[in-house]
Each structure stands twice: as structure tokens, then as C-alpha cells.
């Protein structure tokens, strides 16, 4: 079953469910639909594994490449969902900002407050922090040594960019070595006279 066939089967099953279950919970999948999806996804995984074996590329990379080239889905990142994983790994630090003691029950109310404060504290770079966090999560998955090296170099470059952006956001323009007033290219400075 191809990706398109699986998507079509899901849509058809949802339509049949909507026709049959007028009073049911919207969006809830029946057991039949769940079984169709499990079978379709298992078939998709088999295909990915075969392409991985034939090409010598890791399965994770094959999936990413397929998604980039063929999937017509919304690939924008959901920062709230990424923050949920970030919160789980950094719960003590995030709760400390609110003056709360961790560990706490991970409720929507608590996470909403910590998320709002996280965005406030990291005003200009909060998206970058979460996206980098997600990239590191993906990087931690099973990759080849060469791919790990490339991904690590990208992560280092991204971290340098984040640190630089953070320094620029908190530093006073006159005190920071990268600011325009102390630029090495400043022709009015005594060094260039």
C-alpha cells in the first residue's frame, strides 16, 4: 500500500465513519480504521526498510527525504508540542522560573504558564531553542557515523548562532565587541588613524 493509498483509505474510512456515526465523537477513529492504518503503516515501514537496504541510507534519512520530496503535508513545526518534550527534560528549570518546586504534574495549565514565561525570557530566540532541541532529539536517533558528524557540525553552528544572538540581545551596544560602535571596520577609531 503506497502513501497515497494509505491516505485515501484513511479519508474514506473517516467519511464512512462520519456517515455511519452521526452522534459519535468527531475525529475518533473506529477499531476498523485503526487496523487499516496499522496495516498501511506497517507496509510503509517495510518499503522504507527495503529502500534503506537497497540504497545503504539509514531508514530515518529515507523517511526524511521522502517527506521532503513527495509528502504534501504541512511541515511547519508545532512549537507547543516541541516545548512539551523540552519541558519534560527540563522540568525543574522551567518550574523554577515560576517559583514552583519540581517535579509537578505535567498539566496543560502548568505547561501553558511555563511556556509563556519561556517565550518571554527567550524573546527573540525561543523558536530557535526549541527547533535546535528537536534537531538534537532527531540526531540522537540511529544514524551513521558520517551523518552524525554532519549533524553534529550543524548543531555546533546552530548553537554558536544561538549564543551569539543571545549575547547580542542582552549586551549593551557600547560594551559588546560585535556592536557597531566598536566594530573593527570602524574607520574613525584610533587604530585606523
Mean pLDDT of the chain: 76
Q: Dump pLDDT digits (tens) for 17-48.
A: 555 444 445 567 888 888 998 999 899 889 99
Three cell numbers at 117? Answer: 514565561
Angle, vertex CA 43, rays to CA 41 and CA 45, nearest 5: 70
Task: Work out the average pLDDT over 95-104.
Answer: 78
Q: Dump pLDDT digits (tens) for 41-55.
A: 899 889 999 998 999
For residues 58 and 143, is the Cβ–Cβ distance under 8 A?
yes
Q: Dump pLDDT digits (tens) for 60-91.
A: 888 877 876 776 555 577 899 999 999 998 88
SS3 state at 179: coil
Three cell numbers at 142? Answer: 540511529
Q: Dump pLDDT digits (tens) for 144-164.
A: 777 778 878 888 888 888 888
Amino acid at each position: 500500500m503506497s502513501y497515497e493509498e494509505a491516505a485515501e483509505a484513511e479519508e474514506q474510512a473517516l467519511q464512512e465513519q462520519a456517515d455511519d456515526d452521526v452522534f459519535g465523537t468527531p475525529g475518533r477513529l473506529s477499531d476498523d480504521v485503526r487496523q487499516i492504518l496499522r496495516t498501511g503503516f506497517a507496509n510503509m515501514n517495510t518499503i522504507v526498510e527495503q529502500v534503506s537496504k537497497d540504497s545503504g541510507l539509514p531508514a530515518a534519512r529515507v523517511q526524511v527525504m521522502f517527506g521532503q520530496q513527495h509528502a504534501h503535508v504541512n511541515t511547519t513545526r508545532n512549537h507547543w508540542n516541541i516545548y512539551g518534550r523540552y519541558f519534560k527534560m527540563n522540568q525543574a528549570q522551567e518550574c523554577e522560573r515560576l517559583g514552583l518546586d519540581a517535579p509537578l504534574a505535567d498539566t496543560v495549565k502548568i505547561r501553558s504558564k511555563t511556556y509563556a514565561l519561556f517565550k518571554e525570557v527567550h524573546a527573540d530566540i525561543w523558536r530557535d531553542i526549541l527547533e535546535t532541541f528537536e534537531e538534537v532529539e532527531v540526531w540522537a536517533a540511529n544514524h551513521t557515523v558520517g551523518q552524525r558528524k554532519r549533524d553534529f557540525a550543524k548543531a555546533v553552528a546552530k548553537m554558536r548562532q544561538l549564543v551569539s544572538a543571545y549575547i547580542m540581545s542582552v549586551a549593551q551596544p557600547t560594551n559588546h565587541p560585535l556592536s557597531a560602535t566598536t566594530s573593527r571596520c570602524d574607520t574613525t577609531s584610533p587604530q585606523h588613524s
